[in-house]
Chains A and B, each alone.
Chain A
Amino acid sequence: MYRVRRWVVRHARAFELLYAGFEVMLQRSAPLLKRIGYARLEAPMARLERLIKGLLFDCQMCGHCVLSSTGMSCPMNCPKRLRNGPCGGVREDGGCEVKPEMRCVWLDAWEGSRRMKHGDRIHVVQLPLDASLEGTSSWLRVARGEHDAKAGGRR
């Protein structure tokens, strides 16, 4: 939801902390998740992720979450799916070139990143996205230790 995701960006610092804690929790529960079986968990976890992240961030399930590098504003809501910053078409009122009624997600990302402790991660060049990860759980990937903040989801 548009309003919720704007609210999240305004509270990017809190969500950064929440996410950092959640990441540790995921990594700690790795042995348990492994015992249950990642393959068995994939579908229900992806559904859960779609539900929660969809509500909070309008998550598009790209499978390679970079929210903590983008001010908690999901870059996949950009109609050009830009993961490295705003295009040159941002309107004078901050509206998106393609969808004028939507504020540029990168304006939000920049503001959100300024509120975060590790906001400077926004300067790291994000490599091309691995399209084969679309629709899969990025949380399980974090648990497996396969999530690289930069490499487009590829190991």
Chain B
Amino acid sequence: MKFDDEPVPGYSLPVLPGHVSPGRLERVLRAGRFAVTTEIDPPDSADPAEVLRRAAIFDGYVDAINATDGSGANCHMSSVGVCSLLTRVGYATILQMSCRDRNRIAMQGEILGAAAMGACNLLCLTGDGVQAGDHPHARPVFDLDSPSLLEMARRMRDESCFESGRPIDSPPRMFLGAAANPFVPPRASRAQRLAKKVAAGARFIQTQYCFDVAVLRDFMAEVGDLGLLEGPDRVHVLVGMGPLPSARSARWVRDNVPGIYIPDAVIRRLEGASNQREEGARLCRDILQEVREIEGVSGAHIMAYRQETTVAHIIEETGVLEGRVPWYPGRDNPTELNPESPEAAGELPAAASS
């Protein structure tokens, strides 16, 4: 999707009427196009080139890149750091912010800092418990939770004030989002939980990994019945998914990663395949094909931990972008290349052209 008002990378787009952020993701979603997002795993490193290298893998295939915030309660480069590096060369980022590690003073400061650095999307998360990660003895903070963080960010943006009520001179213009996990108990109230997040300001949702499309279909019907998928204030649901590398790792994930539901049928399908890695990618493609047909689904969030290169294949083979080439540094102007991309190194021709 090319906009007439494409700016110099690192600068914001104009905020369109009825929009809240100067970002691409909001434009794509509100235009009703099927959006694709992914995430990069922030490095265990202080090397900026590593971040840019990881982002370049998705050039031409995704509308925005999530920067995770200490995912799984493991320590990595901060999400604000990652977003700042990415926005400098023009990438659209989704800043993940978890309530686990910071209180409201730190979080509001980070929201302002990130918005100043050009991050236009904020994903408000509760966060995994500290027991899940590499620092189980850390003190969990949880000063806020996801809905109260959303409400605070919404107020910062719409009412130009901190949680204390003190005014903000120039508010953070961010498109707010949250996570949803329809695949775990209490399934009966998951749509209501989402409604609460929408009431608090969420306009996009990225779900946990979907391996059971039937559950998702019911969930989307419930969300639709609550009236959340209509009108200018509708919520845009991006369904989470990703390729499983093998039946063994699927079992491990199911038993060890909180919140990921993998039905037995999926594990059996992987076990029965001669090439499990390929079958995992095929399964992800099948899920994506089914999910895009569900009423009210606005896009996909593809998480491919250590299989990042598969994302491009999945997107290409399913044709979900319908010929659209999402912006990436150098798409329209070769002088704007991501310095760490293969194209910049002269290794490969452009992955996709506009």
Contacts and interface: CB of A to CB of B under 8 A. Distances in A.
A, B: real partners:
yes
Contact of A82 (B126, B151, B208): B126
For B145, B148, B196, the residue with the greatest tally of chain A CB atoms inside 10 Å of its CB is B145
A31 interface: no
A99 B132 CA distance: 11
Majority SS at the chain A contact face: loop
B128 A97 contact: yes
Interface in B126-181: 126-129, 131-132, 140, 142-148, 151-152, 163, 179-181
B144 A97 contact: no
Interface residues of B, number: 38
Interface in A75-89: 79-89
For A82, A128, A131, the residue with the greatest tally of chain B CB atoms inside 10 Å of its CB is A128
Contact of A84 (B147, B180, B185): B147
B185 A89 contact: no
Given A89-B128, A89-B258, A123-B196, A107 B186 contact: yes
Interface in A118-155: 122-123, 125-129, 131, 152
Nearest to B164: A154
A84 B146 contact: yes
Contacts of A152: 148
A86 B193 contact: yes
A82 B99 CA distance: 10
B148 A92 contact: no
B196 A92 contact: no
B188 interface: yes
Given A89-B129, A127-B151, A128-B104, A82 B142 contact: yes
A98 B208 CA distance: 18
A90 B193 CA distance: 13
Nearest to A89: B258
B259 A89 contact: yes
B200 interface: yes
Given A84-B147, A125-B151, A79 B140 contact: yes
Contacts of B8: none
Contacts of A91: 184-185, 258
Given A90-B184, A92-B184, A128 B144 contact: yes
A106 interface: yes
A85 B199 CA distance: 13
Interface of A: 79-92, 94, 97-98, 104, 106-107, 110, 122-123, 125-129, 131, 152
Given A80-B140, A125-B196, 17 more contacts: A80-B100, A80-B126, A82-B145, A84-B146, A84-B196, A85-B147, A85-B192, A86-B186, A86-B193, A88-B208, A89-B129, A90-B259, A92-B184, A97-B128, A98-B131, A107-B186, A126-B148
* Nearest 6 interchain pairs by C-beta: A88-B181, A89-B258, A84-B147, A98-B129, A88-B259, A97-B258
